[in-house]
Amino acid sequence: MVNEKYTEDSNTQELLRDTRVEIDLDKIAYNMNSICKMVGPDVAVMAVIKANGYGHGSCAIAPVLLENGAAYLAVATLTEALELKDCNPQWPVFIMGHTPDRLLHHIVERDITQTVFSLEQAQILNQAAAAAGKKARVHIKVDTGFHRLGKSPSPEFAEEICRIYSLPAIDVEGIFSHLALAGDKENQEQFHSFSKFVSLLESRGCCFKYKHVADSIACVDFPEYRLNMIRPGALIYGMAGYHKGFLPVEQVLIFKTAISQIHHVPAGEGVSYDYMWKSQRDSLIATLPFGYADGYPRNLRDKGYVIIKGVKAPIVGVICMDQCMADVTDVPDVKQGMEAIIYGSGKDGSMTIAEAASLAETNKNDIIARIAARPPRIYKKSL
């Protein structure tokens, strides 16, 4: 079904490391269904799986998303798009980011849909597509205030879009913008600016199959901004960042490891670099084989914890690149090899992604997307 790295065989292979990420594909399906049910049949869902599916493995989750209603798979870069196309050339893949002119021929060769915001980009695509006897599909990016990608609405940009529209080997399939979510008033201004510009273009005969501005938060909190396509990322992975609306979603991943060694540390002795932590009592300190190179936030020193046999074991001392230490003095019968939950569902007392984000003073997307490639992904699927 997908490339060999992600086949079911990978789950039956010997697990070469205790530190691993378990991914419940049924939860991806549940979250995707929840999103589709919320928006109804008239709104297409472009599932955002950039950054290797926010760390979940884009090629492994793509079929689940497509089977459960995704119309498109969105990534940030050409490399990510090519990785998906290597898994399955039929998958509908959209690049939300900029692809440098010298690389645009790949877009045509691999039938990828590309974001464009200039006539020059479209002309290069047009030429490559014409030469190949194909049409290059694009979505136009409009900058309504975020000032990241796209051009601001203007008569000149409208003229440019109409010229792109008239290129014979270009299919202008969509037009989109991105909300900064700075506040209700700012959202309204951005949305109004987008709508006005699209109306102007439509009055000039440039019509678009897809119009989209809403990410995970916007599509739940502001139904009026869904238009006929949404671009949720976070929701797919069970990250509920909305404030006004509600959508039932479940955290997809569990991050786990196992104790490598246990030390008796007498009262008063230090642990890890710089002895930043010193034991107040005779302690049992467990060494855990994960560190910041696995994507665990280094600033969780003195705040992070793992759950071992249902008991909270605080991380003590500086978090190293590949290992860290936890105080397991209060874990009954603690032994080398015992499982430790790094990020879990929360039901067992484990740290959820939401809590990790809050403790590390960042957002939930950062916590999941930064989990490194080093820990293997293990996939669970009921069917």
In the complex, least distance from residue 232 CB atom to ligand PLP, rounded to whole angstroms: 5
Where does this chain touch ligand PLP (CB under 6 A) — which range of 36-44, 77-85, 226-234, 256-264?
226-234
**232 binds ligand PLP, rule: CB under 6 A:** yes
As a whole number of angstroms, the distance between CA 330 and CA 46 comes to 47
Q: Is 46 helix (H, G, I), strand (E, B) or coil?
A: strand
Q: What is the DSSP string of 136-172?
A: EEEEEEB-SSS-SSSB---HHHHHHHHHHHT-TTEEE
For residue 195, give the H/E element and its range.
helix 184-203
Annotated catalytic residue 335? no
Phi-psi region of 48 (alpha: psi -120 to 50; beta: other; left: phi over 0): beta
| Per-residue mark of binding to ligand PLP, 160-179 (x: CB under 6 A) | ------------------x-
Is residue 98 within 8 Å of residue 139, measured between CB atoms? no
In the complex, least distance from residue 177 CB atom to ligand PLP, rounded to whole angstroms: 9
User: Is 325 buried (19+), middle (13-18) or exposed (0-12) by CB count in 10 A?
Assistant: buried
Nearer to ligand PLP, 106 or 178 (CB): 178
In the complex, least distance from residue 171 CB atom to ligand PLP, rounded to whole angstroms: 20
In the complex, least distance from residue 141 CB atom to ligand PLP, rounded to whole angstroms: 9
> Applying CB under 6 A, which of residues 31, 99, 144, 216 lies at the interface with ligand PLP?
216
Q: How many CB atoms lie within 10 A of CB 21?
A: 24
> Applying CB under 6 A, which of residues 84, 112, 138, 234 lies at the interface with ligand PLP?
234
As a whole number of angstroms, the distance between CA 44 and CA 42 comes to 7
Nearer to ligand PLP, 177 or 350 (CB): 177
**240 binds ligand PLP, rule: CB under 6 A:** no
In the complex, least distance from residue 41 CB atom to ligand PLP, rounded to whole angstroms: 21
**215 binds ligand PLP, rule: CB under 6 A:** yes
As a whole number of angstroms, the distance between CA 197 and CA 244 comes to 28
How much is the CA Rg of the chain, to the nearest whole Å? 24
For residue 265, give the H/E element and its range.
strand 261-265
Where does this chain touch ligand PLP (CB under 6 A) — which range of 229-237, 250-258, 326-334, 339-347?
229-237
Question: Which of 27, 50, 135, 141 does the annotation list as catalytic?
Answer: 50
Is residue 259 within 8 Å of residue 286, measured between CB atoms? yes
- For tokens 């987008």, name the residue: 194
Closest CA relative to residue 59, chosen from 119, 138, 5: 5
Q: How many residues bind ligand PLP (CB under 6 A)?
A: 11
> Applying CB under 6 A, which of residues 28, 60, 65, 96 lies at the interface with ligand PLP?
96
Percent of the chain that is helix, strand, coil (3-state, to 5): 35, 25, 40
- The number of CA neighbours under 13 Å toward the Cβ of 189 is 12
Chain-centre distance of CA 63, in angstroms? 16
**48 binds ligand PLP, rule: CB under 6 A:** yes
Nearer to ligand PLP, 20 or 212 (CB): 212
Annotated catalytic residue 37? no
**106 binds ligand PLP, rule: CB under 6 A:** no
Nearer to ligand PLP, 50 or 256 (CB): 50
Which amino acid belongs to residue 214?
A
Binders in 351-380 for ligand PLP, by CB under 6 A: 365
| Per-residue mark of binding to ligand PLP, 277-316 (x: CB under 6 A) | ----------------------------------------
In the complex, least distance from residue 88 CB atom to ligand PLP, rounded to whole angstroms: 22
Binding site residues, ligand PLP, CB under 6 A: 48, 50, 96, 178, 215-216, 231-234, 365
Catalytic residues: 50, 273
